[in-house]
Chains A and B, each alone.
Chain A
Amino acid sequence: RKEVEQDPGPFNVPEGATVAFNCTYSNSASQSFFWYRQDCRKEPKLLMSVYSSGNEDGRFTAQLNRASQYISLLIRDSKLSDSATYLCVVNPLASNTGKLIFGQGTTLQVKP
């Protein structure tokens, strides 16, 4: 079983749609959680950290469910510029190395 699992998609949605991605992780001791965005052939960039209380940044909302070991990302009012691959990322932290564990990524394609 992969340490971090995501549905690779692709998710094809029209502009203005709301889309949600889920991700599950296997290590219950994981401490830190993130969503990174990666454009085609570019480096990953931090989109947002994910906290137990949930957090929102404009049109983006991230939630963490520790009991079920899953993380979600909700994008409201999708824009063409949201088209990218969204990577679910976990930092186990227990090893104190700062190692990040990435999911496979979920591809989003927003169409006019």
Chain B
Amino acid sequence: DAGVTQSPTHLIKTRGQHVTLRCSPISGHKSVSWYQQVLGQGPQFIFQYYEKEERGRGNFPDRFSARQFPNYSSELNVNALLLGDSALYLCASSRRTSGDTDTQYFGPGTRLTVL
């Protein structure tokens, strides 16, 4: 079975632009979470979606938004890009929203560079 897929793999944008990142979860998984990982730090939670509804939001500004589609794929949108948004954006899928036995599987990430 295919794992979590993300597109694009790399992206270069300039300050003030908008970006859309895409994620397809593992088949059968209904939950998608987004994380931001800046160099030298662990991933930081941005959003979780389950059954097309937002179930959790991290401490990120309103410039960050996301949605989940009927096929459970997801998009992360970032408006008015800042230099500090340069990071690896990771998508993770799981079968459910929570549960200590519900493993989150990560995609390869999208590496965003803001110039």
Contact = CB atoms under 8 A, between A and B. Distances in A.
Q: Which 10 A-B pairs have the closest CB atoms?
A: A97-B56, A102-B42, A32-B100, A43-B106, A98-B98, A99-B45, A98-B97, A102-B43, A96-B98, A97-B55
Contacts of A95: 56
A91 B98 contact: yes
A45 B106 contact: yes
B8 to A, nearest CB: 15
A104 B40 CA distance: 7
Contacts of B106: 43-45
Given A98-B31, A103-B42, A93 B100 contact: yes
Interface of A: 4, 8, 31-32, 41-46, 49, 87, 89, 91, 93, 95-105
A contact face: mostly helix, strand, loop, or mixed:
loop
Nearest to A96: B98
B59 to A, nearest CB: 11
Interface of B: 31, 33, 35, 40-45, 48, 50, 55-56, 58, 88, 90, 92, 94, 96-100, 102-109, 111
Given A95-B56, A98-B33, A44 B43 contact: yes
22 contacts: A4-B42, A31-B100, A43-B106, A43-B107, A45-B106, A89-B42, A93-B100, A95-B56, A97-B97, A98-B55, A98-B94, A98-B96, A99-B33, A99-B48, A100-B35, A100-B45, A100-B92, A102-B42, A104-B40, A104-B41, A105-B41, A105-B42
A101 B45 CA distance: 7
A102 B40 CA distance: 12
A47 B33 CA distance: 19
Nearest to A107: B40
B111 to A, nearest CB: 8
Contacts of B96: 98
A19 to B, nearest CB: 19
A81 B105 CA distance: 21
Given A44-B106, A101-B45, 11 more contacts: A41-B88, A43-B109, A44-B43, A87-B42, A93-B100, A96-B97, A96-B98, A98-B55, A100-B92, A102-B35, A104-B41
